[in-house]
Amino acid sequence: MAVFRIVIVLLLVAAGISFALFALTSNVRYKRTGLRLLGGTLIAAFIFFAILIADELLWG
């Protein structure tokens, strides 16, 4: 479970850095990369919470 938390935090940090680079350079590539990373972060978070819910329901 700790691995999922670390991955989610690292994805959020990477997305934030990408958006900061977009703000500094106005290069659209950084914005697209940030949005993809943010989408990956949301998917990872949903998987993490789905595992937590399933764990609670099955072994509660």
**Total count of domains within the chain:** 1
Is the residue at 33 inside a domain?
yes
Is the residue at 60 inside a domain?
no
Can you give the residue range of the structural domain that contains 47? 2-55
- Core vs surface per residue 10-37: b (16+ CB within 10 A) or e: ebeebbeebbebbeeeeeeebeebbeeb
If you ran DSSP here, which 8-state letter would residue 60 be given? -
Q: What string of pLDDT tens digits covers the 60 residues of the chain?
A: 899 899 999 999 999 999 999 999 999 999 999 999 999 999 999 999 999 999 999 987
Is the residue at 18 inside a domain?
yes
The C-alpha atoms of residue 44 and residue 59 are separated, in whole angstroms, by 22
- pTM metric for this prediction: 0.84
Is the residue at 41 inside a domain?
yes
Is the residue at 27 inside a domain?
yes
